[in-house]
C-alpha cells in the first residue's frame, strides 16, 4: 500500500514552490490575478454547456410537473443555447475584470475641439461590448421563455379544445416579444451608445406622425386584428366566405388572415378588409343548403312530373341525414330542356362518421334514378 512520506517527490515539489511568485506584479496586476482570469475562462469553456443544460433541465422539470412532458425536448432546445451564451458572457466579464489594472491602459485618445481630450480605456471598450452582448443574450432568454410559456398555454388550450385561446395566444406572444425587443433596443442605445433617450423619444414622436401616415394601411390592419379577436366574427378553424374567397381560417396575424381554400390554395386577406366588408361565417350555421339541378327534356306530362317531384321528396325525407324543408321546383325553361331544381338541408356540422361528398353522391344518384325511370334526361344532373 502506497504511503506518502515527507521526502516524497510530491511533498518536496510543493515545498519548493515559490509562493512569492504569485504576488509578483506585471502591468499593474499580480500573477495570481492573471491565473484566476485564465482559470475562469477555461472553466467557462468546459462548464458552459453542462451549466446551461442544468438550468434548462430545471425548466423542463417544471414543465413535467405541469403535465406538459411532451414539450420537454422542445423547451430544452429553445432555452439551452441562449442561456449558454448568457452564462458565457457573464463569466467572461468576471474573468476579464480580474485584471483591472491591465484594462486601464489607453487604447484611443480623441480630441474634441482644440483643448479637450478624451482618453478611451481598454476596460471601457470591453465594458460596452460585454454590456451589449449581455442585453442581447438576456433578451433572447426572455423571448425564448415567452415561447416556453406560449407552448405550455397552447398545449393546455389544445387539450381543452379552447379555440378562442388558440386564436389569441399567437398574437399575444408576438406583441410581448415585440415589446421586449423594443425595450432592449432603447436600453442598448442609452447604456452602450450613450444616446439621449428622452430626446430620441421626442424626435420619434414628431417623426411618428409621418410614419403613421406612410403606414396607414398597416396600422388599420393591426387594429382590425384586435377587432377580430375582441368581436370574434370568426376564429381559427372556422369556414368563412367573402366575395369569391371561401375557405378555412388557419391563422390570424398582425396584418392579415390566412384562409385555406378547398383546392389547397392559401388566401392572404388584409384584416381591414375582413372587418369592413360583408363576411359569411359558414361555421356558425346549423344547416347546410344543398341543391341538385336536373335538365329534363320536354315531353313529360304534368302527371308524371308531379309524380317525380312527389317521389323525390319522399325519398329524400327518408334519408336520416336530410333535414326539412325538401323542395323540388321547375325553375327555368331552355330550348330543349327545362330545369328541375331539388333543394334539401344537411345538418352542420355533420356527424363524425358522415362525409359530405358521400351524402351528396348518394342523393344525386337517387334523384337520377327517379327521374330516369319516368322521363328522358337531357344533360347530366349537377349539384351545388
Structure confidence by residue, pLDDT tens digits, 129-155: 889 999 999 999 899 888 888 887 887
Highest mean pLDDT among 70-79, 92-101, 352-361: 352-361
Highest mean pLDDT among 207-211, 217-221, 244-248, 317-321: 244-248
Q: How far apart, in Å, do the first and last CA atoms of the chain sit?
A: 96
Q: How far is CA 73 from CA 139, 177, 241, in A?
A: 22, 22, 39
Comparing 183-197, 250-264, 281-295, 370-384, the range with the smallest average pLDDT is 370-384
* Separation between Cα atoms, residue 134 and residue 147, nearest integer Å: 20
What is the three-class DSSP state of 234?
Answer: coil
> What angle in degrees, to the nearest 10, is found between the helix axes of 163-191 and 122-160?
170
* Separation between Cα atoms, residue 104 and residue 92, nearest integer Å: 17
Amino acid at each position: 500500500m502506497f504511503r506518502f512520506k515527507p521526502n516524497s517527490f510530491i511533498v518536496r515539489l510543493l515545498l519548493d514552490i515559490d509562493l512569492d511568485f504569485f504576488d509578483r506584479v506585471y502591468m499593474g496586476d499580480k500573477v495570481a490575478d492573471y491565473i484566476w482570469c485564465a482559470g475562469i475562462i477555461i472553466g467557462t469553456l468546459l462548464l458552459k454547456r453542462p451549466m446551461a443544460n442544468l438550468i434548462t433541465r430545471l425548466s423542463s422539470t417544471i414543465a413535467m410537473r405541469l403535465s406538459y412532458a411532451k414539450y420537454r425536448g422542445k423547451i430544452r432546445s429553445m432555452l439551452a443555447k441562449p442561456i449558454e451564451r448568457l452564462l458565457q458572457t457573464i463569466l467572461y466579464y468576471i474573468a476579464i475584470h480580474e485584471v483591472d489594472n491591465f484594462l486601464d491602459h489607453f487604447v484611443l485618445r480623441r480630441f474634441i475641439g482644440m483643448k479637450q481630450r478624451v482618453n478611451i480605456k481598454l476596460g471601457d471598450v470591453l465594458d460596452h461590448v460585454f454590456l451589449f452582448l449581455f442585453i442581447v443574450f438576456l433578451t433572447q432568454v426572455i423571448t425564448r421563455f415567452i415561447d416556453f410559456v406560449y407552448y405550455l398555454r397552447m398545449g393546455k388550450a389544445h387539450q381543452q379544445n379552447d379555440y378562442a385561446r388558440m386564436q389569441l395566444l399567437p398574437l399575444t406572444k408576438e406583441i410581448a416579444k415585440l415589446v421586449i425587443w423594443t425595450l432592449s433596443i432603447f436600453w442598448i442605445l442609452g447604456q452602450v451608445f450613450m444616446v439621449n433617450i428622452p430626446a430620441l423619444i421626442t424626435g420619434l414622436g414628431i417623426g411618428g406622425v409621418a410614419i403613421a401616415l406612410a403606414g396607414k394601411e398597416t396600422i388599420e390592419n393591426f387594429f382590425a386584428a384586435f377587432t377580430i379577436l375582441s368581436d370574434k366574427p370568426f376564429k381559427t378553424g372556422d369556414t368563412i366566405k367573402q366575395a369569391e374567397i371561401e375557405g378555412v381560417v388557419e391563422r390570424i396575424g398582425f396584418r392579415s388572415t390566412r384562409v385555406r381554400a378547398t383546392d389547397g390554395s392559401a388566401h392572404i386577406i388584409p384584416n381591414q378588409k375582413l372587418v369592413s366588408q360583408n363576411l359569411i361565417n359558414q361555421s356558425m350555421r346549423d344547416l347546410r343548403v344543398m341543391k341538385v339541378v336536373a335538365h329534363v327534356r320536354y315531353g313529360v306530362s304534368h302527371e308524371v312530373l308531379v309524380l317525380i317531384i312527389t317521389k323525390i321528396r319522399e325519398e329524400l325525407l327518408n334519408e336520416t341525414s336530410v333535414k326539412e324543408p325538401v323542395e323540388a321546383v321547375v325553375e327555368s325553361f331552355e330550348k330543349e330542356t327545362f330545369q328541375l331544381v331539388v333543394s334539401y338541408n344537411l345538418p352542420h356540422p355533420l356527424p363524425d362518421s358522415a362525409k359530405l361528398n358521400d351524402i351528396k353522391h348518394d342523393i344525386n344518384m337517387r334523384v337520377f334514378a327517379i327521374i330516369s325511370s319516368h322521363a328522358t334526361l337531357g344533360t347530366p344532373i349537377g349539384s351545388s
